[in-house]
Amino acid sequence: MDSSIDTSHRLGTPQAPTGRRGTLLACSGAHVLHDGLTNVLYVLLPIWQGELGLSLTEIGMLKTIYSGALAGLQVPSGYATERFDES
C-alpha cells in the first residue's frame, strides 16, 4: 500500500477549510452576523428612544445614517472583493 495517500479525512482529523469552501463559509458567517445585527437594530431603536429621551425624528435620523452607511460601503466592498479574490 502506498504511504503517500492522505487518509486524514478518514481518521476524523479536523482540517481548516480552504479554497472555495472556506470562502463560502466565511461569507456565510459574515452574512449571518450582518443580518443578525441589522435585525437587532429594530429592537434597540425603541429602547434607545426611551432610555436616551430621543424624539422620533432623531431615531429616524439614526436609522437613515445606518442605512446610508450600509449602502455607501457596498461600493468599496465590491472593489475590495475584486482586488482580493480567492486566487
DSSP string, 11-75: TT------HHHHHHHHHHHHHHHHHHHHHHHHHHHHHHHHHHT--HHHHHHHHHHHHHHHHHTHH
Give residue 86's pLDDT band: very low, low, confident or very high (50, 70, 90): low
> pLDDT tens digits for 14-72?
555 567 888 888 889 988 988 888 889 889 899 989 999 999 999 999 999 988 998 89
pTM above 0.95, yes or no: no
Output the pLDDT for position 87. 57
Per-residue pLDDT, 51 = 95
pLDDT at 7: 54
More confident residue, 87 or 33: 33
Mean pLDDT of 73-78: 86
Where in the chain are the domains? 37-87
12/34 Cα distance (integer angstroms): 32
